[in-house]
């Protein structure tokens, strides 16, 4: 994976939660429009999420997984990005 093109973008969530902030929802709407661009329609993406250092490693791992799912769901439901991508 490290040899593939990558982009790091901040997606804001409510503190200590898997709930997108208003800014996070707005950003994902814009990102989704870009991902639906014909030039990217056949591209696949990997969503990786990090939390801050507060909380245990186990808790933060679960929260990261939940946040990644929320991002994928929002891109699919919000702007129609194919979940298989």
With CA atoms as reference, report the closest residue to 73 among 25, 30, 1, 34: 25
pTM for this predicted structure: 0.84
pLDDT in tens, 27-60: 999 999 999 999 988 888 888 888 888 889 999 9
Judge whether 37 and 49 are in contact, CB under 8 Å. Answer: no
């Amino acid at each position: 994976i490290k040899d593939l093109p990558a982009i790091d973008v901040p997606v804001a969530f409510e503190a200590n939660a898997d709930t997108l902030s208003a800014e996070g929802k707005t950003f994902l709407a814009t990102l989704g429009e870009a991902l639906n661009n014909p030039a990217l329609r056949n591209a696949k993406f990997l969503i990786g999420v990090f939390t801050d250092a507060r909380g245990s490693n186990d808790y933060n791992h679960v929260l990261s997984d939940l946040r990644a799912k929320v991002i994928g769901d929002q891109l699919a439901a919000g702007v129609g990005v194919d979940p298989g991508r």
